[in-house]
Chain A
Amino acid sequence: DGGITQSPKYLFRKEGQNVTLSCEQNLNHDAMYWYRQDPGQGLRLIYYSQIVNDFQKGDIAEGYSVSREKKESFPLTVTSAQKNPTAFYLCASSMAIGTNQPQHFGDGTRLSIL
């Protein structure tokens, strides 16, 4: 099946710990994105990547880091510097940036603090 796979579905973080959320796509999409979703709010962009080995900060990048070593993969690390990490994290991809192509989403990872 073609699509975007996020793992794990649920993740718990201890104080001072870094955690990494996985996002893999087999849609052959060039662009990938990470969003954060809080209750009652729209999606807020954390980071995005147009091509391999390149990524840019979104609106709320502080406390997060990403890498794009492969076209299919765009992992997100929530660092200990992110003081309010509890949220639903969504990964998305699109054919290319700048062409108004729709973004397609994975099923999300819910991160909670222990």
Chain B
Amino acid sequence: GQQLNQSPQSMFIQEGEDVSMNCTSSSIFNTWLWYKQDPGEGPVLLIALYKAGELTSNGRLTAQFGITRKDSFLNISASIPSDVGIYFCAGSTSGTYKYIFGTGTRLKVLA
């Protein structure tokens, strides 16, 4: 099945730094979702985006729905140790059951 290209694959950052990651697709999507997964647990929904150009925040997290509708971005400001985990993007076209998931960005925060 198709998968999204998510980058970077992994990153080490210092506590307090800002983090950026992105997701790109060859297909146009109508919905973008961002999830965080901790080890041994299921993904937890962070942000949902439904409109091109939309910018949505959830605490220190901000995500954007790319204008081309083929990409999305997630930023984390002032990272803290509990931000450690894998961040997944997922995209869907209108009226379909199917979300395509990215391969994840593994974030490690150095205290």
Contacts and interface: CB of A to CB of B under 8 A. Distances in A.
A-B complex is real: yes
A107 B6 CA distance: 23
Contacts, number: 64
Interface stretch (B36-44, B65-73, B77-85): B36-44
Contacts of A41: 3, 103
A56 B95 CA distance: 16
Interface string A19-48: 000000000000100010000111111001
Contacts of A6: 42
Interface string A69-110: 000000000000000000000101000011110111111101
Nearest to B99: A103
A90 B99 CA distance: 14
Contacts of A40: 103-104
Interface in B24-39: 30-31, 33, 35
A59 interface: yes
Interface footprint category on B: 20 to 34
Interface residues of A, number: 30
Contact of B97 (A43, A44, A90, A97): A97
B45 A100 contact: no
Contacts of B94: 100
15 contacts: A4-B42, A31-B97, A40-B103, A40-B104, A41-B3, A42-B88, A42-B100, A42-B104, A44-B1, A45-B1, A90-B43, A100-B94, A103-B99, A106-B42, A107-B40
Interface of A: 4, 6, 31, 35, 40-45, 48, 50, 56, 58-60, 90, 92, 97-100, 102-108, 110
Across the A-B interface, the 5 shortest Cβ-Cβ residue pairs: A105-B42, A59-B1, A42-B101, A97-B97, A100-B31
